[in-house]
């Protein structure tokens, strides 16, 4: 593709992204000073359509970018947008409060992303499987029910209800908690699978059954699983997009986005990959074939531990979204790292 075609493609994408209407040759020649007439542009556009970068909704309409066109744009043409000072300040200042809960920041991130981009934003909380075991505490609830509180070095907390095979005194629960904490400290999800507790010290022998149950429980419940808590922002922003005027289409999409497993799997897929962009049909879900998803990974220390993302129409302001996501992920990483190390 020669340079002139690229310029025209870029012009069309720029116009289309902001207007949402098919773009005609005259519009381009008027709005961009390319030094060529509408007729020439028409010929070039015809070529671009031929090679699949543009599409025509109907004969006498202008052209719109195809998925292939967007892909080319994202990979080759796009310059990452410089954010405005206000926008940068908005992100930074959002993270300046000292929260009492990790979730607060993740939730905040989703809200900020959506309000900065006007698209739907999603965020995953740090993934427990990617961090190391730090502390375990058993707390009695009823006769045989205990609450198992797990803490990892990234400050993640997980609460699980466990039913014990027999009643255990609170004092002994504490001792067992300390014992298990020692046993598991510093291990990651994989290493936990290999812990066994065959030779117990004397004092724990009478709780062999209970401890076995607890270790089994840990083995079962710390496996990688796609059901992380999902936080959302601006779910309804999609309703502002003219291409989603169709109620049935929008309903199908919103239904999909409501499912935690779906968001979770879309984001998990891209963890640790830096910034990713999936355009239209590249997404695995049929209902999202008119959407693009941009994701970024955040870290605690050196661990890539969570993912955030923006979901919008394929006609998305890619350069801005990428800039916002990049800065947000970096800032979030800094803040969390500061907090937990």
Partner DNA sequence: TGTTAGCACTCATGGACGGAGAGTGCTAAT
Partner DNA sequence: ATTAGCACTCTCCGTCCATGAGTGCTAACA
Binding site for DNA (CB under 7 A): 21-27, 35-40, 42-43, 45-46, 49, 56-63
Nearest distance, CB of residue 56 and DNA, angstroms: 7
DSSP 3-state percent helix, strand, coil across the chain (nearest 5):
50, 20, 30
Nearest distance, CB of residue 309 and DNA, angstroms: 32
CA torsion sign, 128 to 132 to 135 to 136?
positive
Nearest distance, CB of residue 272 and its own copies, angstroms: 23
- Residue placing its CB nearer to DNA in the complex, 198 or 246: 246
- Confirm or reject binding of residue 96 to its own copies (CB under 8 A): no
Binding segment (CB under 8 A) for its own copies, from list 20-28, 132-140, 188-196, 276-284 = 132-140
Q: Which two tokens stand for residue 321?
A: 């979204």
Nearest distance, CB of residue 136 and its own copies, angstroms: 10
- Confirm or reject binding of residue 340 to its own copies (CB under 8 A): yes
Residue choice 221, 243, 275, 330 for contact with its own copies (CB under 8 A): 221
Residue 139, binding choice from DNA, its own copies, none, Cβ under 5 to 8 Å by partner class: its own copies
- Confirm or reject binding of residue 142 to its own copies (CB under 8 A): yes
Of residues 281, 309, 300, the one with CA closest to residue 120: 309
Nearest distance, CB of residue 155 and its own copies, angstroms: 5
- Residue placing its CB nearer to DNA in the complex, 25 or 292: 25
Instruction: Let me know how long the chain is.
Output: 341
Distance between alpha carbon 34 and the CA centroid of its chain, in Å? Answer: 39
Residue choice 36, 139, 200, 271 for contact with its own copies (CB under 8 A): 139
Local structure of residue 309 (DSSP, 8 states): E
- Residue placing its CB nearer to its own copies in the complex, 9 or 291: 291
- Residue placing its CB nearer to its own copies in the complex, 147 or 271: 147
| Partners of 159 in beta bridges | 149
Residue 145, binding choice from DNA, its own copies, none, Cβ under 5 to 8 Å by partner class: its own copies
Nearest distance, CB of residue 142 and its own copies, angstroms: 6
- Confirm or reject binding of residue 76 to its own copies (CB under 8 A): no
What is the CB neighbour count within 10 angstroms for residue 118?
17
Quick one: 341 exposed, middle or buried, by C-beta within 10 A (0-12, 13-18, 19+)? Answer: exposed
Residue 58, binding choice from its own copies, DNA, none, Cβ under 5 to 8 Å by partner class: DNA
Do residues 325 and 294 touch, judged by C-beta distance below 8 A? yes
Give the angle 139-144-148 at the CA atoms, nearest 5°.
30
Which residues, including other chains, have CB under 8 Å from residue 41's CB and lie 6 or more apart? 8, 25, 28, 29, 34
| Partners of 151 in beta bridges | 135, 157
Computed on alpha carbons and rounded to an integer, the radius of gyration of the chain in Å comes to 26
Residue choice 115, 118, 129, 235 for contact with its own copies (CB under 8 A): 235
Nearest distance, CB of residue 237 and DNA, angstroms: 23
Residue 128, binding choice from DNA, its own copies, none, Cβ under 5 to 8 Å by partner class: none
Distance CA 302, CA 295 (A): 19
């Amino acid at each position: 593709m020669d340079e002139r075609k690229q310029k025209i493609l870029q012009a069309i994408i720029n116009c289309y992204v902001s207007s949402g209407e098919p773009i005609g040759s005259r519009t381009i020649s008027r709005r961009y000073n390319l030094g060529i007439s509408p007729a020439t542009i028409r010929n070039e556009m015809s070529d671009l359509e031929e090679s699949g970068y543009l599409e025509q909704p109907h004969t006498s309409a202008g052209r719109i970018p195809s998925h292939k066109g967007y892909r080319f744009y994202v990979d080759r043409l796009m310059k990452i947008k410089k954010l405005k000072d206000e926008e940068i300040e908005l992100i930074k200042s959002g993270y300046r409060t000292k929260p009492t809960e990790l979730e607060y920041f993740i939730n905040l991130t989703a809200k900020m992303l959506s309000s900065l981009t006007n698209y739907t934003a999603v965020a995953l909380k740090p993934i427990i499987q990617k961090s190391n075991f730090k502390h375990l505490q058993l707390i009695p609830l009823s006769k045989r029910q205990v609450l198992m509180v797990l803490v990892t070095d990234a400050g993640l907390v997980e609460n699980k209800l466990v039913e014990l095979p027999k009643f255990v005194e609170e004092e002994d629960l504490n001792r067992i908690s300390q014992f298990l904490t020692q046993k598991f400290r510093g291990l990651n999800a994989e290493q936990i699978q290999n812990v066994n507790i065959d030779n117990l010290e004397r004092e724990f022998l009478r709780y062999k059954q209970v401890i076995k149950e607890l270790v089994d429980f840990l083995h079962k419940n710390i496996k990688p699983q796609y059901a992380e808590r999902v936080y959302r922002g601006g779910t309804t922003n999609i309703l502002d997009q003219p291409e989603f005027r169709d109620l049935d289409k929008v309903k199908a999409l919103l239904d999909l986005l409501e499912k935690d497993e779906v968001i979770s799997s879309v984001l998990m897929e891209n963890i640790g990959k830096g910034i990713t962009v999936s355009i239209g049909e590249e997404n695995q879900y049929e209902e999202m074939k008119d959407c693009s998803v941009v994701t970024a990974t955040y870290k605690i220390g050196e661990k890539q531990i969570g993912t955030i993302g923006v979901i919008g129409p394929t006609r998305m302001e890619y350069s801005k979204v990428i800039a916002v996501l990049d800065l947000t992920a970096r800032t979030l990483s800094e803040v969390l790292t500061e907090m937990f190390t």
